[in-house]
Amino acid sequence: MNVAVIGGGMAGMEFVRHAYKLPVEITLIEPKPVMVCQALLPELLSGKVDEDSLCADIGEFCCKTGVEFVRDRAKCIENGLVITEKGKQVEYDLVVLAVGAETNYYGIEGAERTHNVNTLEATLKTKKALNKAEDVIVVGSGITGVEVALELAEMGFNVRLVECMDRILPTFSPKVSNFVYNIMKKEGIDVRTSSAVFKVEKDGVVTNRGKIFGDMVIWCAGLKPSKFVEYLDIPKEKGWIKVDEFLRAGRAFAIGDCAFVKIDEKIATKTALEAEMQAKHVAENIKRFLKGERLARYRIRSSIDKPIAMIMLAKNRAILVYKGVTVFRPMRLIYKIKKLAIERFLRSFI
């Protein structure tokens, strides 16, 4: 059986790691040479980690595991073929979609000219632009926005964090928001909640509460499905690939950020943990399928109402949110555990 995997990010690579020993021929289609652990991108910005320590070489891993690596971007899938931008055609019996997500600018004027930390390339560009800045505006106060703002404050920048909701980290409990807000205030970050950006200009952002000035803007305000997903003729929910309880979307499987996973009224978060678990689950379901067994239902670990996350707060600190419980201390130990978990994850691809 030929299995095509589209996307060699965390979900795609983790799928390959779990599936390469199965009696299937795997082809991984990914335009980039490395898998990037995005959780470390805020620390790449501040120079605490370098490029090498957050990447795994896809070509080497595929070579070691006997997986064919097509270094190209998938353009479309048609009649059992993945067609890439350079015109390569990959035949498959089963396709695993793991194409991640793209930055969402919500159609806001000027937003596309801002910086971001969603990819390695974008983060390196942002890092370079910081050389000419003093006052930095971070838009969006989800985990990424909070982590970026605190890293920048530690580096000595004047940081303004802009959030349209009435508190930072709005998808977490008010207790978590307050705790992190107090740390931000101590670090001198100017937090502007209930401020919706509707225009980005050269010298700042225009919000419903007036203009906020800054030398550069880092956009951490959300994700949207990629163009590739937009053109796929499969079930969707708000543009994301809608999967069933077996992580199937029509005749494909979809995992990681590109998938909308709703099971028993719970919706999976778009996190590394979920990407890893979904990847492992699909590999196991393919194994069951090959043995003629029934597919197993997926169990969401980190859902929107009960998320699991380790939020880094600069200065080697982090907190752990585990479903309804938050562990606020010891912050240095939680930070160390997070770094060790990432190192271990990356080492599994060497």
Ligand X SMILES: Cc1cc2nc3c(=O)[nH]c(=O)nc-3n(C[C@H](O)[C@H](O)[C@H](O)COP(=O)(O)OP(=O)(O)OC[C@H]3O[C@@H](n4cnc5c(N)ncnc54)[C@H](O)[C@@H]3O)c2cc1C
- Interface contacts to ligand X, rule CB under 6 A: 6-12, 29-32, 38-39, 41-42, 73-74, 98-100, 117-118, 143-144, 226, 228, 256-258, 270-273, 275
Q: Which is nearer to ligand X, 49 or 206 (CB)?
A: 49
Q: Which is nearer to ligand X, 42 or 214 (CB)?
A: 42
- Rounded to a whole number of angstroms, the minimum distance from the CB of residue 149 to ligand X is 12
Distance between CA atoms of 309 and 322, rounded to whole angstroms? 7
Tokens of 133: 């800045």
- Rounded to a whole number of angstroms, the minimum distance from the CB of residue 320 to ligand X is 11
Nearest to 187 by CA among 155, 213, 163: 155
How many residues are listed for the chain in this entry? 350
Q: Identify residue 330 by its one-letter amino acid code.
A: P
**What is the residue-wise DSSP string for 4-70?**
EEE--SHHHHHHHHHHTTSSSEEEEE-SSSEEE-GGGHHHHHTTSS-GGGGEEEHHHHHHHHT-EEE
CB 113 within 8 A of CB 199: no
Burial 67-79 (b: 16+ CB within 10 A, else e): bebbbbbbbebee
Three-state DSSP at 120 gives: helix
Q: Which is nearer to ligand X, 24 or 341 (CB)?
A: 341
- Rounded to a whole number of angstroms, the minimum distance from the CB of residue 221 to ligand X is 12
- Rounded to a whole number of angstroms, the minimum distance from the CB of residue 188 to ligand X is 22
- Rounded to a whole number of angstroms, the minimum distance from the CB of residue 101 to ligand X is 7
Q: Which is nearer to ligand X, 83 or 206 (CB)?
A: 83
Q: For 236, what's the count of Cα atoms within 13 Å in the CB-facing half-sphere? A: 14
Q: Which is nearer to ligand X, 177 or 269 (CB)?
A: 269
Verify cis geometry, omega within 30 degrees of 0, for the bond prior to 42: no
Give me Rg for the CA atoms of the chain.
20
Q: Which is nearer to ligand X, 206 or 248 (CB)?
A: 248
Distance between CA atoms of 235 and 233, rounded to whole angstroms? 7
Beta-carbon contacts of 13 under 8 Å, excluding residues fewer than 6 positions away, are 28, 35, 56, 58, 61, 279, 349
- Rounded to a whole number of angstroms, the minimum distance from the CB of residue 292 to ligand X is 29
- Rounded to a whole number of angstroms, the minimum distance from the CB of residue 321 to ligand X is 11
Q: Which is nearer to ligand X, 290 or 340 (CB)?
A: 340
Q: Which is nearer to ligand X, 210 or 306 (CB)?
A: 306
Measured from each CB, the residue nearest to ligand X is 9
- Rounded to a whole number of angstroms, the minimum distance from the CB of residue 38 to ligand X is 3
Cβ count within 10 A of residue 318: 22
